[in-house]
Each structure stands twice: as C-alpha cells, then as structure tokens.
Amino acid sequence: MAKPKIAFYWCASCGGCEEAVVDLAEQILPVVEATDIVFWPCAMDFKTRDIEKMADSSIAVSFINGAVRTSEQEHMAKLIRQKSGLVVAFGSCAGLGGIPALANLTNRRKIFKAAYHNSPSVTNPDGVEPKPEAMVDGHKLTLPVFYETVYKLDDVIDVDYYLPGCPPTTNLIINAVSAILESKLPPKGAVLSPDKSLCSSCKRNDTKPEQIYMESIKRIIDVIADPEKCFLIQGLICMGPATRDGCGAPCIQGNMPCTGCFGPTDSCRDQGGKMISSIGGILEGEDPVSMQKAIKGIVDPAGTFYRYSLSSSLLGSARKEGE
C-alpha cells in the first residue's frame, strides 16, 4: 500500500521549527518509515516545480511553519494548500504571527530604512533598496514583494490544524503525526494541545495565595527568582495564566517565566489582552500614581504581552495592507 505523502515548508520564521523536526532524532525514524516525505526544501533539494507537478490533494498532510510576509510565501502557501489534503500551521509564527509579527508595530518603509540605510553595518551611498522588479544588463530580475503586514497562515489559506509552540515540542509533534496517521484527529480547526492554561499543570501553582498582590513589576534579569514560587507572587510577569498548556513547562523548569509561545486557549480572543487584564487585577494600589510606578517595570509591553500573537490579536488585525 502506498504510504501517505507528507510535506514541510518554511515561510517567515527563524528556522527553529525545522530544527524541531530534526530534533525528533531517532523518533523521526517511524515517521519516515510510515510516510513518504515528498517536499521539504529546507532539508532536501526540492524545487517549486516538484510540487507544481503533483496532483491536487495528493499530499496527505503539509506542515507549514512561519508567518506570511512576502508574495512568494503567500504563493507557496496557496500552492501547498492546493496539493494537500490537510494543512497544519506548525508553530507560533504560522498559527499566531509569532516573533516576525512584532514588525507589525512598524511599517515596510521604516524597516527598509533601518535595514538598508541606517544600520551601522550598512554602506549604501546610492540608497539602493530591493525592488520586486529591476532591469540589470537588459535582464529583468524579480524578487518577492515584501508586504506591509505580517500575516498568520490562516489569513491567506484555509488551515486544518494548529501545532502551537516556538517551536512545537517533540511530544506534540509525535502525537500530532500519530493522530494523523491513525486518523484520530479532533474536529477541524483544533489546536493540537490541551485546551487549558499552563498554570493548571504548573508545579508552582500551589504556591499562589488565594489573592495575589503585585507591589511592583520586576524583570527576570534584575532578580534571582525563587525556583519554587509562582513568578507572579515574585513580581515577575509570567504569561502562564493566558497561555495554553502542553509544552511541559521547560521555561518554568529552567526558572524562567513563560513568555506565552503556546498562544491562548480556545476561549481567549486576545492573549495579550487577557494577560494585561490579569496583571491589572493583581497590581496593588488603585491610585494612578502607584499604578504608573508599578507598570514602569514593563519595559517592553508589546514584546511582553504579544510576543507571539500580534497577528492574531485585536491590535494586529487592525492595520491592513496599504493602510
């Protein structure tokens, strides 16, 4: 019997999701045994024409990581969608916009200015910038269009399932692949990780008093955190209350607060908004002066509350291409 065909593709991301597949180490062997990897340009020499030649829906499942920032990424996502039975948004960038989506706080002009003009390592006396089309020695050269906005994958194609994480953990990947191969998948649109908050499985949850009060907000680099106690009662922002469970809490085990890479649970529309509301509820002192003093400790509010989820947030969807 023919093995199910699978594919991997990489859009706007750091490459960590591809690394996560390689990190499966010997656990990848049963996957390789049970499937036929027909497209994985990061690991093997596949060309776009290889996938163009495939019949529509002939790939059982494609895992696409990364957000969509360029016309090439949008084109490839649409092509892979056409050739695939199932598409899984693999990792935070594909599912929520991820770190690349923090660029939605600025715009294309400012990014180009920083990258091609003002960076200390750039010498560009002619003010050259990449363009989608340029004539060089009589030849037309083309580059992908760099969009104004970073999109999550389901802004450009229909997505069947979501694997959260920056990157998704080994267990999660193995469970997802097994569920797909055994046709034991939840309803379409599901995030393939438990729908409860990270706090619910965190070993430090029991150290929280009935009512937490945060006097001030500190940064993890400024204190030596108690490795047993909940970060929130130590005045450190931990995104656990607003973050989906399923990662095994490696950051907490390493005595680092959760930064929220698993994204929100199903009932939460805006992960950053939920965490801001949680922090607002536990800050001590209700007068504006003590509130102002406390929130001064949050030096990077967008990076703290929306590190992985800006494209999927109420804020991130406010600005569209060309605005």
Q: In the complex, which residues of this chain contact ligand SF4 (CB under 6 A)?
A: 198-199, 202, 204-205, 230-232, 238, 240-241, 243, 247, 249-252, 258-262
C-alpha triplet 298, 303, 267: angle, nearest 5°:
100
CB of 66 to ligand SF4, least distance (A): 17
Q: Which two tokens stand for residue 142?
A: 């083309």
Give the rounded distance of the alpha carbon of 148 from its chain centre: 18
Q: Which of 280, 266, 99 is nearest to 197 (CA)?
A: 266
Sequence letter at residue 36: D
Residue of minimal CB distance from ligand SF4? 240
CB of 313 to ligand SF4, least distance (A): 17
Residue 84 or 313: which CB sits closer to ligand SF4?
313
- The residue behind tokens 């199910």 is 4
Q: Which two tokens stand for residue 278?
A: 């949680």
CB of 227 to ligand SF4, least distance (A): 10
Residue 177 or 252: which CB sits closer to ligand SF4?
252
Residue 86 or 283: which CB sits closer to ligand SF4?
283
CB of 56 to ligand SF4, least distance (A): 36
Q: Which of 253, 245, 243, 240 is nearest to 282 (CA)?
A: 240
- The residue behind tokens 């920083």 is 114
Q: How many whole angstroms separate alpha carbon 253 and alpha carbon 143?
A: 44
Residue 28 or 282: which CB sits closer to ligand SF4?
282
CB of 163 to ligand SF4, least distance (A): 13
Residue 97 or 260: which CB sits closer to ligand SF4?
260
Q: How many whole angstroms separate alpha carbon 81 and alpha carbon 61?
A: 9
Residue 88 or 202: which CB sits closer to ligand SF4?
202
DSSP character string of 262-317:
T---TT-S-HHHHHHHHHHHHBS--SHHHHHHHHTT-S-HHHHHSTTTTTTSTTTT
CB of 198 to ligand SF4, least distance (A): 5
Residue 107 or 278: which CB sits closer to ligand SF4?
278
The single-letter DSSP state of residue 55 is: P
CB of 241 to ligand SF4, least distance (A): 6
How many C-beta atoms lie closer than 10 Å to residue 129's C-beta? 12
